[in-house]
Amino acid sequence: MINRLIEKIEKTQAPIVVGLDPMIGYVPAFILDKEIKEKGETPEAAGEAIWKYNKGIIDAVYELIPAVKPQIAMYEQFGIPGLIAFKKTIDYCKQKGLIVIDDAKRSDIGSSSAAYANGHLGSVQIGNTKCYGFDADFLTVNPYLGTDGVQPFIDTCKEEKKGIFVLVKTSNPSSGEFQDREIDGRPLYEIVGEHVAKWGGDCMGDSYSYVGAVVGATYPEMGKILRKIMPKTYFLVPGYGAQGGTAKDLKPYFNEDGLGAIVNSSRGIICAYKQEAYAHFGEEGYAEASRQAVLDMKQDINSIF
Amino acid sequence: MINRLIEKIEKTQAPIVVGLDPMIGYVPAFILDKEIKEKGETPEAAGEAIWKYNKGIIDAVYELIPAVKPQIAMYEQFGIPGLIAFKKTIDYCKQKGLIVIDDAKRSDIGSSSAAYANGHLGSVQIGNTKCYGFDADFLTVNPYLGTDGVQPFIDTCKEEKKGIFVLVKTSNPSSGEFQDREIDGRPLYEIVGEHVAKWGGDCMGDSYSYVGAVVGATYPEMGKILRKIMPKTYFLVPGYGAQGGTAKDLKPYFNEDGLGAIVNSSRGIICAYKQEAYAHFGEEGYAEASRQAVLDMKQDINSIF
């Protein structure tokens, strides 16, 4: 799957992932109101509205980008109907040829991590039948529990030819509280980065490992150091745009081959129509606004090479 | 909710939580086969079988214990039908008067943590209607992202009078890989423990905070130190039984008032009928075996006071 991701990045010339993180406030009224009229003020209406909103965006941008990253929290908040919308979104994106990074930041002790790996990337055996759950291509994973909490995800990736991105340095303001604390003179995120490089060592695609890392765009100095610690690790880089990261901050996240990183934008793309620059598209043109925002982001990111 | 948890612990004289972590291999054949016959070898059959298996156990033990802890990974592995079984299990347990600790170990940056908090403990606003998702009483939370990843859960707890347990020292063998690393001469789990005590300081019930901590039974020396760092924090203690923790290891997790900790057992209870000691109950008597295992665990745990 890491080979396919790189191939798609090269083909689209866009090291970009669109974060499908639909807050209910982002959904244009003409979509939401129709569902509420049919289904009442229910999670079912919200789930269906979110799915339709996503579909509009996917249809408008799928040819421009290699991958999407639905944030499962935004679906999980609506309970089962939200998760049905999450599953529909994954299935539709895959049908459109997009690679799906399931941003669930899961982790647990071994047996529970194995269950998460089965549910998000792999399958379960029911009688003699192999049944797939969410069946995403990549999953984000939290490292706090250590190797035996991460290994089951790697095992599933090997079996299913999929991938993970392990949280190393996150983009949020408090990320330093534990991640930056020094251990033998070096911050925890570097120690975690070394583990990611080690875990990924025997999980190599052609040029990069399918054990990747999440490294926030908001800390470029740290990105530079982590790039050196993990030369064969693909970085999933959140924090560009709405969270404050700029294109010039992103240079150190890439290797000299122009590869090694894929930059996420969520609000900046899916909610573009609410920004001044794209307001002329109007609510009805929200998907076209997203398309234009992708084109602009692509130009912005490619300006660093 | 922390007051209600303590009240129920005192009433049942059982600082015990039963982990409802159903692997498909635990479900007796007479339950699973019936569902497969009706629904085929499908996730729907697995979900329904798991729910019926849980229901049998809940009916047999609900009067003996204060709380249950369903591990969502075990449900999520079956996709949507598994999550429907998870929701049915939560609803039924609450109906039976049990407190539900949703073991999902969620965490993310602020806006996504808020969405998880809404989905698992709180509600979302759809039009003018407040809609609840999984609506558990407590949720487990991963601290790796720092305060702004944890705060949204605390905010929801304040609003909804619910609670969280933050991972401090987990019970798995690799937990030390990052959690035990020394920062200014002290292990990371102590630093996290101090943050939990601080976060919980203005979230007090009558005698304990509703911001609790997960502290594994498998590391009693660390439990002793953490008890001192977090005197007003309730501990959720996994790792007893199948993972290796024994009753005599558990003493330091409790305060002198006999409170402050609730000990989880999963496999040891829900899969008791497969153990030699309870084999005489047979598969058909799996729920009765679980009941006996709870009674035995209660006696074992209470022997330390």
pLDDT of residue B243: 74
Quote the tokens at residue A261: 């990183």
Helix B43-61 and helix B29-39: axis angle, to 10°? Answer: 140
Of A21, A76, A178, the CB nearest to B191: A178
Residue B237's nearest CA partner among B174, B169, B296 is B169
Of B144, B148, B238, the CB nearest to A173: B148
Contact B132, A46 (CB under 8 A): no
Mean pLDDT of chain B: 96
CA dist A263 and A94 (Å) reads 19
Of B46, B71, B178, the CB nearest to A144: B178
- Report, as an integer, the average pLDDT of B184-210: 96
A141-197 confidence digits (pLDDT tens): 999 999 999 999 999 999 999 999 999 999 999 999 999 999 999 999 999 999 999
Q: Please report, rounded to a whole number, the percentage of residues in chain B having pLDDT higher than 70.
A: 100
Question: Is the Cβ pair B174, A144 closer than 8 Å?
Answer: no
pTM for the full model? Answer: 0.97
A31-53 confidence digits (pLDDT tens): 999 999 999 999 999 999 999 99
Which residue of chain A has the CA closest to B118? A77
Of A84, A87, A147, the CB nearest to B174: A147
pLDDT of residue A264: 97
Distance from CA of A276 to the nearest CA of B (A): 22
Give the best residue of A118, A170, A178 to mutate against chain B (max B CB count within 10 A): A178
Confidence grade of residue B24 (pLDDT, cut at 50, 70, 90): very high
Q: Kindly report the backbone phi and psi dihedral angles of residue B63, in degrees, each rounded to the nearest multiple of 5, phi listed first.
A: -80, -15
Of A148, A170, A181, the CB nearest to B173: A148
- Report, as an integer, the average pLDDT of A262-289: 97
Residue B266's nearest CA partner among B16, B90, B43 is B16
Q: Kindly report the backbone phi and psi dihedral angles of residue B255, in degrees, each rounded to the nearest multiple of 5, phi listed first.
A: -85, 175
Question: Is the Cβ pair A46, B131 closer than 8 Å?
Answer: yes
Rg of chain A over all Cα atoms, to the nearest angstrom: 19
Question: Is the Cβ pair B179, A146 closer than 8 Å?
Answer: yes
Give the best residue of B74, B144, B190 to mutate against chain A (max A CB count within 10 A): B144
pLDDT of residue B27: 98
Distances (CA, A) of B52 to A125, A169, B92, B117: 19, 42, 11, 28
End-to-end Cα separation, chain B, in angstroms? 25
Question: Is the Cβ pair A80, B82 closer than 8 Å?
Answer: no
B99-146 confidence digits (pLDDT tens): 999 999 999 999 999 999 999 999 999 999 999 999 999 999 999 999
Is A105 designated active site? yes
**Which entry of B96, B105, B161, B232 is annotated as an active-site residue?**
B105
Helix%, strand%, coil% for chain A, nearest 5: 50, 20, 30
With H, G, I as helix, E, B as strand and everything else as coil, classify residue B126. strand
Distance from CA of A256 to the nearest CA of B (A): 30
User: ∠B286-B287-B290 over CA atoms, to 5°?
Assistant: 90
Number of H helices, E strands in chain B: 13, 12
Contact A124, B24 (CB under 8 A): yes
Question: Is the Cβ pair A36, B110 closer than 8 Å?
Answer: no
Question: Is the Cβ pair A105, B109 closer than 8 Å?
Answer: no
Number of H helices, E strands in chain A: 13, 12
Q: Chains A and B: how many Cβ contacts under 8 Å?
A: 229
Cβ contacts of A83 on chain B, cutoff 8 Å: 80, 83
Distance from CA of A11 to the nearest CA of B (A): 31
Which residue of chain A has the CA closest to B29? A127
Mean pLDDT of chain A: 96
CA dist B183 and B198 (Å) reads 18
Q: Please report, rounded to a whole number, the percentage of residues in chain A having pLDDT higher than 90.
A: 95
Contact A59, A287 (CB under 8 A): yes
- Report, as an integer, the average pLDDT of A252-266: 95
Question: Is the Cβ pair A134, B46 closer than 8 Å?
Answer: no
Cβ contacts of B237 on chain A, cutoff 8 Å: none
Q: Kindly report the backbone phi and psi dihedral angles of residue B100, in degrees, each rounded to the nearest multiple of 5, phi listed first.
A: -110, 120
Rg of chain B over all Cα atoms, to the nearest angstrom: 19
Question: Is the Cβ pair A112, B21 closer than 8 Å?
Answer: yes
pLDDT of residue A4: 97
Confidence grade of residue A73 (pLDDT, cut at 50, 70, 90): very high
Task: Using the predicted structure, report yes or no on whether residue B244 has a pLDDT greater than 80.
Answer: no
Which residue of chain A has the CA closest to B121? A77
Task: Using the predicted structure, report yes or no on whether residue A243 has a pLDDT greater than 80.
Answer: no
CA dist B114 and A24 (Å) reads 13
